[in-house]
Amino acid sequence: MTESEPARPELGAPPSEERVAPPPSSDELAAKLLAVQCVLRGLNADPDVRMKLHLRFMAICTSLKVPKADRVKGAERLDRLVADAELARAAGWQGDQVLRPPGGESGST
């Protein structure tokens, strides 16, 4: 084998792209669910964005209750949800836009 030739995997071993991580245990998944819930609870973002994130969280929780639930896929969905929540947090939100007068006018007449 030369440096330009790729190393051949052992016979019977799946290629590295096909190797699958073991599914998270129930305790690991429960800890991740709790962490995501805490992130969403403390999220200061647009109310519509928060609602959509909470609905996604509820859908993930519901999907994990199915008897043959794919825990790996559920954990990946939770990771994407946290990433999206962090993007919403980074976007910055300056309070409830509904309660502000249009055009930034003061409340006095």
Q: Is residue 109 part of a domain?
A: no
In a domain, 31, yes or no: no
pLDDT at residue 99 above 50?
no
Tell me if 3 is assigned to some domain: no
Compute the average pLDDT of residues 46-63: 94
What pLDDT band is residue 39 in, cutting at 50, 70 and 90? Answer: very high
Global pTM reads 0.65
Domain extent for 51: 47-92
Least Cα distance to 54 among 66, 43, 64 occurs for 43
pLDDT in tens, 75-91: 999 999 999 999 998 88
Judged against a pLDDT cut of 80, whether residue 21 lies above it is answered with no
Reading the block at residue 93, the tokens are 């939100």
Q: How far apart are CA 6 and CA 4, in angstroms?
A: 6
Through-space distance between the first and last CA atoms of the chain, rounded to whole angstroms: 83
CA angle (52, 76, 73) in 5-degree steps? 105
Number of domains in the chain: 1
